Amino acid sequence: MIAMRQSPNIIVTGTPGVGKTTHCDGLADKLGLRHISVNQVVKDKGCHEGWDEDFQSWIVDEDKLLDAIEDEVKQGGCLIDWHACDLFPRSWIDLVVVLRVDSTTLYDRLKARNYAEAKLQENLDSEIMEVLLQEARDSYDDEIVIELTSNTSDEMETNVDRIEEWVKQWKADNN
């Protein structure tokens, strides 16, 4: 299906700490795409039903969130940065990048963020059990889901280059 946008929409997903924000910043700079930090939108536009103390995160109102980003996403050229991906309509999305990281590296990154032990463990389990990769594969066509490792800055550079090539190809195919 030919999308009506001139630039692709890319979900960058993965367990907290894998490097979504870092990748999106790099990609936004390099490719002129717009970084939509869903966390920020949820907070700024009040797309939630309050704060969950146990999970230390917002209880997201998905309908409000989708309404809040719909106009922007439909223009194309968005990097959607979020630790979930199954809520976005398939017609909005051209590529789903699932970032992965080794447990020891993730542990260090989350520890550096002062995550409480329970939340840290929950996120480590989620990474080990490939929860986000599975969610992406369940929610989108296999051809548009790619898994990339994000342990080192070298890997990050390679990932950004690879996504840049993909975006060029997408534009050549769709414009």
> Annotated binding residues for ATP, as ranges?
17, 19-22, 113
Q: Is 103 in the site for ligand DAT (CB under 6 A)?
A: no
38 in Cβ contact with 78 (< 8 Å): no
Main-chain dihedrals φ then ψ at residue 54, nearest 5 degrees = -60, -45
The DSSP letter of residue 144 is G
Q: Which of 16, 26, 76, 77 binds ligand DAT (CB under 6 A)?
A: 16
Instruction: Considering only the stretches 13-21, 41-49, 121-129, 167-175, report the one whose residues sit in contact with ligand DAT under the rule CB under 6 A.
Output: 13-21
CB atoms within 10 A of CB 8: 24
Beta bridge partners, 98, equal 13, 147
Beta bridge partners, 146, equal 97
User: Which residues between 44 and 83 bind ligand DAT (CB under 6 A)?
Assistant: none
Given the complex with ligand DAT, which of 7 and 15 has the nearer CB atom?
A: 15
Instruction: Considering only the stretches 14-22, 55-63, 66-74, 135-143, report the one whose residues sit in contact with ligand DAT under the rule CB under 6 A.
Output: 14-22
Instruction: Give me the amino acid identity at 149.
Output: T
Gap between the Cα atoms of 31 and 167, Å rounded: 8
Q: Which of 49, 152, 161, 165 binds ligand DAT (CB under 6 A)?
A: 152
The site for ligand DAT (CB under 6 A) is made up of 14, 16-22, 109, 150, 152-153, 155-156
